[in-house]
Structure 1
Amino acid sequence: MTPPSRTHLVLIPSYNTGPRLADTVTAALAQWSPVWVVVDGSTDGCDEAVRTLAAQDPRLRVITRPTNGGKGAAVATGVTAAHAAGFTHVLTMDADGQHPADHIAPFMAASQAQLAALILGRPVFGPEVPLERLHGRKLSVGLAYLEILGAGIDDPLFGFRVYPVAALARAFTTTRRARGFDFDPEVAVRLFWAGVPTVNLPAPCRYLAKNDGGVSHFHYLRDNLKLIWLHTRLLSQLLWRWPQIRRRRRRATS
């Protein structure tokens, strides 16, 4: 068994994920250690199985938030704890089984090869993906392209990523938002603005039907309105950031 990493850990935020959480944690542990789970105020008892597993496996840690704050809030809690423990990088993956555990090691290797970089997943969807989700992502991809004045973020919504801990912690201090569903696109853009290099790697993404144990807390009206407000804010801030971003792009190509 490979010794646990002292620098890179897998961070899994979870809210009412049901039995999928234990399956995801088990799959992640088979590929990497340590693995940390942040239980974000869950009320469905999904954390009981992983607590039992953590009591038997020192590679697994469970952190509990007393109330639900959203994905970004859960990641922020985990990042704060990871930084305090001396970890430099976290790979985030969803708790519901959409993200590929067998891609953890290649993503970690890419991070270890470029420690300053944000390693972003570019989702490869199967035929089961809902068309409204697929087309909706195209708008977010286009808006992110505008917000960073070009390429660099292939998919701002896909949460399978490796973050440099210090850079992500700083990004959280630049906004009071990015604590819910808007976390993934906002921090990707803000890290790019901050000068963090990006590496985009393909990774399969699967959508699980409810009959297969799939879990989704996405609310179409509420969360789409939140994304509209997010991109409105980012585009408005671009008005005074664009000279800095253009200088960065010129340096990268010179």
Structure 2
Amino acid sequence: MKLCIVIPNYNHTQVIADVIAELEPMGLDIVMVDDGSAVSAQRYLQQLNERFDCLHLLRHQVNGGKGAAVQTGLRWAYAQGYTHALQVDADGQHCLADMQKLIAKAKAHPHCLISGRPVYDESVPKHRYLSRYITHFWVWVETLSLSIKDSMCGFRVYPLAPCIALFDSRALGTRMDFDIEVMVRLYWQGVPSLFIDTQVIYPEQGVSHFQPLHDNLKISWLHTRLFFAMLPRLPKLLLRKPRVDS
């Protein structure tokens, strides 16, 4: 397994230097995709690019969404010869101490998507918490399986070859809907997801780009499309043997 780290970033400057400093001792290349940030943020991210030798900065001229930034980062990683990419968010929500657990599980199951399963504290916004459980239900329907424990956590190790094949075969969501869609469609293609529990916090001064109305509407439309796309796959999904996590 040849691993790098992918960080999508849109105007996140508050804690990103601390995130990179915590990641640097791992000795892995880090690709950060600046997704059309404001000029002041662009300058700051460029300063970080010059400060950290492990950092590779890519830039979208206009904001395309978190999903678009992640796809750009994964394509870059695959083109550089990496087999897997660890996605980390730029806002400090993820418990980076759990990275080794993700990586160890990815090494044991290199053909699976390995994801965090969030354990929340009282900082989680109630609307985010509720929307996750609605999405859990629809993902279980779309896959006819309870094996996907969480489809919205952005703390993941992606196997790159099946991801790039999926990206090349169809256009996926480019915003907050991406995390859900890529997991469901990879499952349909025979790439299961495995999970580790991980603490997720919402920092008091953190900046979230989740728009409750707009993003929940996009996610609802995504589930509608996935449900109808699941129907032709129904016989195959029904015949799939349950997977036992290990």
**Is the pair's TM-score, using the shorter chain for normalization, greater than 0.5?**
yes
Question: Matched residues in 2 for 1:46 and 1:25: separation?
Answer: 16
Report deviation, 1:48.
3.3
For 1:228, the equivalent position in structure 2 comes to: 220
For 1:61, the equivalent position in structure 2 comes to: 56
Please list, as runs of the form range in 1=range in 2, the aligned pairs for 1:1-254 lying within 5 A after superposition: 7-31=2-26, 33-43=28-38, 45-209=40-204, 212=205, 214-249=206-241, 252=243
CA contact (8 A) 1:21 1:47 kept: no
Report deviation, 1:102.
1.3
CA contact (8 A) 1:25 1:50 kept: no
Q: Which consecutive residues of structure 2, in runs of 5 or more, have no partner in the other structure?
A: none
Structure 1 counterpart SS, 2:240: helix
Question: Matched residues in 1 for 2:139 and 2:4: separation?
Answer: 27
1:154-189 per-residue CA deviation (whole Å, 9 max, x = no partner) reads 111111110001111122234323111110000010
Structure 1 174/233 Cα, relative in aligned 2: closer, same or farther at 3 Å?
farther
Amino acid at match of 1:247: L
Question: Matched residues in 2 for 1:197 and 1:229: separation?
Answer: 23
CA contact (8 A) 1:115 1:164 kept: yes
For 1:3, the equivalent position in structure 2 comes to: none
| RMSD after superposition | 1.7
TM normalised by structure 1 equals 0.90
Amino acid at match of 2:47: T
Q: Which consecutive residues of structure 1, in runs of 5 or more, have no partner in the other structure?
A: 1-5
Structure 1 180/75 Cα, relative in aligned 2: closer, same or farther at 3 Å?
same
Question: Matched residues in 1 for 2:147 and 2:43: separation?
Answer: 39
Identical aligned pairs, as a percentage? 37
CA contact (8 A) 1:123 1:202 kept: yes
Question: Matched residues in 2 for 1:21 and 1:47: separation?
Answer: 13
Report deviation, 1:50.
4.0
User: Higher mean Cα deviation, 68-77 or 54-63?
Assistant: 54-63
Structure 2 counterpart SS, 1:236: helix
1:136-164 per-residue CA deviation (whole Å, 9 max, x = no partner) reads 21101111111110122111111111000
Question: Matched residues in 1 for 2:91 and 2:232: separation?
Answer: 39
Question: Matched residues in 2 for 1:236 and 1:189: separation?
Answer: 13
Structure 1 runs of 4+ with >6 Å offset: none
Task: Report the count of equivalent residues.
Answer: 244
